[in-house]
Chains A and B, each alone.
Chain A
């Protein structure tokens, strides 16, 4: 089992604040890194699929970066809104077919 760590475990921010969280994974044998958003009572939903060192992806106010050589990815949310409240999961794969998830960062945006 590969160790994938996410920090912080939970975060409370005010509406309008920008925030970021970290996913750390083994720096050897990288294949892909996924980010998912999991809202309460819903299914996890894909945000980004990242496969190349130096990748930067953006979707609206959310963006992510990837450093495979040092084994980390950052997720950024600009101008947080209450609807951004969710648990954000990263999933690492070294083979392309098995995925190891972190325990997630729980974000609460306070109106």
Chain B
């Protein structure tokens, strides 16, 4: 079946512009996660969704970052007034349930470059 998809695969934007990153999880997966990997660093947890709800937004790096999920499916991560330090690969993953017992399925990522 279809895996997790993300779009765009690459995004180059100018500092100060807003960007929207999209994630399509596997159908039926109630849990959705956003991570980012900056150059030379490990995967950094940003936020998770249980259905359409994000119970804890403390992992988001700043108030310029927001995320939503609609219909228990597609999620968008929005970064306002992008800064150069936002340059990273943004990965989305989904799993059957929001419980650590379930493996996560990752998308191919969106490479964001802020110039």
The 4 closest A-B pairs by CB, nearest first: A32-B100, A46-B103, A103-B42, A101-B43
Question: Is B72 interfacial (CB-CB < 8 Å)?
Answer: no
Residues in chain A near residue B93, CB distance under 8 A:
44
Residue of B nearest to A100 (CB): B45
Q: A104, B42: Cβ atoms under 8 Å?
A: yes
Q: A44, B106: Cβ atoms under 8 Å?
A: yes
Q: B35, A101: Cβ atoms under 8 Å?
A: yes
Residue of B nearest to A42 (CB): B108
Q: A97, B50: Cβ atoms under 8 Å?
A: yes
Question: Is B90 interfacial (CB-CB < 8 Å)?
Answer: no
A42–B41 CA distance with the chains assembled, in angstroms: 17
A51–B44 CA distance with the chains assembled, in angstroms: 21
Residues in chain B near residue A101, CB distance under 8 A:
35, 42-45
Residue of B nearest to A48 (CB): B103
Interface size class of A (residues with CB under 8 A): 20 to 34
Interface size class of B (residues with CB under 8 A): 20 to 34
A67–B14 CA distance with the chains assembled, in angstroms: 47
Residues in chain B near residue A95, CB distance under 8 A:
100
Question: Is B98 interfacial (CB-CB < 8 Å)?
Answer: yes
Known: A43-B4, A43-B108, A97-B48. A102 touches B100 (CB 8 A): no
Known: A32-B101, A97-B48. A102 touches B42 (CB 8 A): yes
A109–B33 CA distance with the chains assembled, in angstroms: 31
Residues in chain B near residue A102, CB distance under 8 A:
42
